Amino acid sequence: MVGIDGSEAAAHAATWAALEAGARGLPLRLVHVIAEEAAETAPTQPDLGVEYAETVLRDVDLLLREKASELKVETAMPHGPPGSALIDESREAAMVCVGSVGIGCLSRAIFGSTAAELAQGAHCPVAVIRAHGGTGAARGWIAVAVDHTPGDDLLLEHAFREAQLRDAPILAIESKPWRRVGRHTLRIEHWASRYPGVRIRLTPLRRGLPDALGQIGEPVQLAVIGKHDADDVPRIVGLPDVGVIEPAGSSVLVVRD
């Protein structure tokens, strides 16, 4: 499922999600939430909220058909606050995606609406797809932080799946580098055996994941985190690219049981 608001970032998120849906053999549901004020338009006035929703959904549908003609696309136009409506829609979704061009300095105030609500409250994994300078998500590593606890398996499963799907290497950031087998920890070795074509690199985590990503010096296209780290999403997504020579920030996948 993808939240569509008419922006280029949302269209890029839909393109990202189309690959995901196609690999899973699932339809892709495009959702535009009609705000409550638009839903309260007087009966004698044109329902501009519905007209706009139909237009932006049709535009993204056409874009996806050009890129993946075999993909089944569904659309929905629920009414209400965007965050609450998308959380409700997420009950039946395998994953929900939204687009972002970066988070402003008042990250909590700006980000604290739709995407933050989803990261904290959705009933499925949430992908916040970062678009840079009008382009889609950058190429680069799939980053995942591991601390050698049972919770790593869920993160590693999603990280390896995305790495294989997107032909990307994995950067496993270790908070407790121990119990190694060759270059890999025992848990990573297990998942590496299931995805033998995925390249892996280990690096120590000396500070929090957002700081570690900023110090790597190489592009990270997606960071995979657990729901307990959802508050880190604004820092990982990063600031908008206004006046920036080297774009920073990456997309984030928040996974949950």
- pTM for the predicted model, two decimal places: 0.87
Residue 58 within any structural domain of the chain: yes
Identify the CATH number of the domain in which residue 46 sits. Answer: 3.40.50.620
Whether residue 204 sits in one domain with residue 104:
no
Q: At CB < 8 A and 24+ separation, what contacts does 22-27 make?
A: 22/68, 22/70, 22/71, 23/165, 24/94, 26/94, 27/71, 27/72, 27/73, 27/74
Cβ atoms of 241 and 247 within 8 Å: the answer is: yes
- Residue 46 has a CB neighbour count (10 Å cut-off) of 9
54-65 pLDDT, tens per residue?
999 999 999 999
Whether residue 120 sits in one domain with residue 228:
no
Residue 136 within any structural domain of the chain: no
Whether residue 243 sits in one domain with residue 214:
yes
Residue 183 within any structural domain of the chain: yes
Q: Which two tokens stand for residue 175?
A: 């908070």
193-209 pLDDT, tens per residue?
999 999 999 888 777 78
Residue 197 within any structural domain of the chain: yes
126-147 pLDDT, tens per residue?
999 988 654 444 589 999 988 8
Nearest CA to 237 among 5, 1, 9?
9
State the Cα–Cα distance between residues 230 and 251, nearest whole angstrom.
Answer: 13
Higher pLDDT, 70 or 212: 70
Cβ atoms of 116 and 87 within 8 Å: the answer is: no
State the Cα–Cα distance between residues 205 and 80, nearest whole angstrom.
Answer: 41
Residue 210 has pLDDT above 90, yes or no: no
Predicted confidence at residue 80, as pLDDT, reads: 92
Predicted confidence at residue 167, as pLDDT, reads: 96
Whether residue 162 sits in one domain with residue 245:
yes
Whether residue 227 sits in one domain with residue 146:
yes
Diameter of the chain measured on Cα atoms = 71
Whether residue 57 sits in one domain with residue 102:
yes
Q: Which domain holds residue 249?
A: 141-255
Residue 159 within any structural domain of the chain: yes
- Name the pLDDT band for 38 (thresholds 50, 70, 90): low
Whether residue 111 sits in one domain with residue 48:
yes
Chain-wide mean pLDDT for the chain?
A: 84
Whether residue 119 sits in one domain with residue 17:
yes
Whether residue 179 sits in one domain with residue 89:
no
- Name the pLDDT band for 175 (thresholds 50, 70, 90): confident
State the Cα–Cα distance between residues 206 and 215, nearest whole angstrom.
Answer: 10
211-255 pLDDT, tens per residue?
888 788 888 999 999 998 888 888 888 766 544 444 568 899 999
Residue 16 has pLDDT above 90, yes or no: yes
Residue 134 within any structural domain of the chain: no
CB-neighbour burial class of residue 126 (10 A; exposed 0-12, middle 13-18, buried 19+):
buried
Q: How many domains does the chain have?
A: 2
